[in-house]
C-alpha cells in the first residue's frame, strides 16, 4: 500500500487537500485530487480533513493516539472544549511541591506520554523521547546523583579566586551561580544529606524525562510543547506536577548522570517533570505579572 491513496470515485474535487497539504503534494486533474508531489510531512491532514473520506494514508510507523485510562472519543472531529473549562484547567495547574506516597501506575503514565505525542512538532518530525521513573526509591537514587553534582558545583563556587579568574576571562557564570543559587542550594543539600528531606523533587514518586533525538529541526520546542501537554493532562487526571530545571541543568553539565538512567547520550533532555498525587489542593488561581501587549500596526 502506498503512503497516500486517493479513491477517485469518492473525491468531489473540493480542493481541500490541495490547499492544506504543507508539502503541496496534491493537484486537481479533471476535478479529482491526484498526488503529484512527495508526502514529506506524514501529517495526515489530507485524510483527516477530506469531507468525502476519499484519502487513505498508510504510515506503518504511525497509529492513532489511543489511551488506556480514557475511552476513545466517539466522533472524529474534536468537539470544541468550552473556553471556560479549558482556562479553568490551565489555571488549576500549579507546580506541586507536596505529594502523597502513592505512585502513579504505568497505565496513567503511558497515557500521559500518548497525550504528549498529540503536540505539534517541527515538520511533524516527532523526534521526542520519554523516559520514566515510577518508583520513589528510584527517584531518590537519581536525586543522589543530582545532589552530588551540586555539591561539587558549590565547592567550586566557594572559591572566590576561581570566580574572579573566570569572570576576568569573560566567564561570569560561576559568579552568577554563587550570587543567585549557592545559598539556597547549600540549604537544599544540607537537608538532603542530613535530614533526608527532598527539596529537589519535593517528595514526588515519579519523574518523566522529555528529550529529543538528534535530527529534529526544533528539538527544544517539540519537547517543551509535549511537556506542556503532560502538565495539563496530568492536572485533569488528578496528578500534580512540577518541572525540575535543576535536574535538567545537572544532566546537561554532567553527561554521566544521563548514563546512569540508560538514556542514550545522543538524546538531549529538555525537561524533567516530577509528578504524583498532590497532598494539597490549591484554592485560588495564580497571579501573574502584568504584560503589555505590543500591538503591531
Ligand X SMILES: Cc1cc2nc3c(=O)[nH]c(=O)nc-3n(C[C@H](O)[C@H](O)[C@H](O)COP(=O)(O)O)c2cc1C
Q: Which is nearer to ligand X, 41 or 181 (CB)?
A: 181
User: Per-residue string for binding with ligand X, 10-29, x by CB under 6 A?
Assistant: --------------------
268 binds ligand X (CB under 6 A): no
Which of 68, 86, 280, 286 contacts ligand X by CB under 6 A?
Answer: 286
- The reply to whether 184 sits near ligand X by the rule CB under 6 A is no
In eight-state DSSP terms, residue 104 is P
Convert residues 130-169 into a mask of x (bound to ligand X by CB under 6 A) and - (unbound). Answer: ----------------------------------------
Helices (H), the chain: 16-20, 45-49, 83-92, 106-116, 136-157, 160-168, 173-180, 182-195, 219-236, 245-253, 255-260
Q: Grid coordinates in use for 194? A: 542530613
The contacts of residue 164 (CB under 8 Å, 6+ apart) are: 175
Examine residue 243 and tell whether it contacts ligand X (CB under 6 A). yes
The answer to the question of residue 95 lying near ligand X (CB under 6 A) is yes
Reference 240, options 232, 250, 248, 228; nearest CA is 232
**Which region among 43-51, 64-72, 104-112, 242-250 touches ligand X (by CB under 6 A)?**
242-250
Nearer to ligand X, 195 or 289 (CB): 289
Rounded least distance, CB 240 to ligand X, Å: 10
Indicate whether 245 belongs to the interface with ligand X (CB under 6 A): yes
User: How would you label 172-189 residue by residue, b for 16+ Cβ within 10 Å and e otherwise?
Assistant: eebbebbeebbeebeebb
Position with the least CB separation from ligand X? 245
Q: In this chain, which of 246, 250, 251, 257 binds ligand X, going by CB under 6 A?
A: 246
Binding segment toward ligand X, per CB under 6 A, in 13-21, 108-116, 239-247, 260-268: 239-247
Min CB(246)–ligand X separation in Å: 4
Asked if residue 44 lies in contact with residue 72, where contact means CB atoms within 8 angstroms, the answer is no
Q: Give the interface segment with ligand X, choosing from 99-107, 158-166, 174-182, 238-246 (CB under 6 A).
A: 238-246
Choosing from 174, 206, 242, 275, the residue that interacts with ligand X (CB under 6 A) is: 242
- Long-range contacts from 5-10, C-beta under 8 angstroms, 24+ separation: 5/55, 5/56, 5/57, 5/58, 6/32, 6/33, 6/34, 6/35, 6/54, 6/55, 7/54, 7/55, 7/56, 8/32, 8/54, 9/54, 10/52, 10/53, 10/54
Q: Could you list the residues that contact ligand X (CB under 6 A)?
A: 94-95, 97, 242-246, 286
Amino acid at each position: 500500500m502506498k503512503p497516500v491513496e486517493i479513491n477517485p470515485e469518492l473525491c468531489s474535487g473540493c480542493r481541500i487537500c490541495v490547499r492544506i497539504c504543507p508539502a503541496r503534494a496534491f493537484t486537481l486533474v479533471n476535478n479529482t485530487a491526484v498526488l503529484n508531489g512527495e508526502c514529506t510531512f506524514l501529517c495526515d491532514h489530507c485524510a483527516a480533513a477530506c469531507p468525502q473520506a476519499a484519502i487513505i494514508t498508510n504510515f506503518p510507523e504511525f497509529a492513532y493516539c489511543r489511551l488506556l485510562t480514557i475511552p476513545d472519543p466517539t466522533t472524529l472531529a474534536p468537539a470544541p472544549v468550552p473556553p471556560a473549562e479549558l482556562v479553568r484547567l490551565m489555571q488549576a495547574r500549579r507546580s506541586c511541591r507536596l505529594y502523597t506516597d502513592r505512585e502513579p501506575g504505568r497505565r496513567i503514565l503511558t497515557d500521559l506520554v500518548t497525550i504528549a505525542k498529540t503536540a505539534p512538532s517541527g515538520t511533524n518530525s516527532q523526534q521526542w523521547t520519554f523516559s520514566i521513573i515510577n518508583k520513589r526509591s528510584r527517584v531518590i537514587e537519581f536525586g543522589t546523583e543530582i545532589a552530588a553534582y551540586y555539591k561539587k558545583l558549590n565547592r567550586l563556587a566557594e572559591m572566590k579566586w576561581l570566580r574572579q579568574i573566570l569572570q576576568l576571562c569573560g566567564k561570569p557564570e560561576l559568579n552568577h551561580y554563587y550570587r543567585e543559587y549557592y545559598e539556597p542550594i547549600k540549604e537544599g543539600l544540607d537537608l538532603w544529606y542530613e535530614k533526608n528531606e527532598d527539596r529537589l523533587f519535593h517528595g514526588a514518586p515519579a519523574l518523566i524525562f522529555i528529550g529529543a533525538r538528534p535530527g529534529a529541526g526544533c528539538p527544544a520546542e517539540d519537547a517543551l510543547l509535549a511537556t506542556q501537554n503532560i502538565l495539563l493532562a496530568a492536572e485533569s487526571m488528578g496528578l500534580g506536577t512540577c518541572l525540575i530545571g535543576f535536574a535538567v541543568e545537572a544532566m546537561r553539565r554532567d553527561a554521566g548522570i544521563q548514563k546512569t538512567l540508560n538514556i542514550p547520550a545522543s538524546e538531549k533532555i529538555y525537561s524533567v517533570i516530577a509528578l504524583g498525587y498532590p497532598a494539597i489542593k490549591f484554592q485560588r488561581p495564580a497571579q501573574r505579572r502584568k504584560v503589555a501587549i505590543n500591538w503591531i500596526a
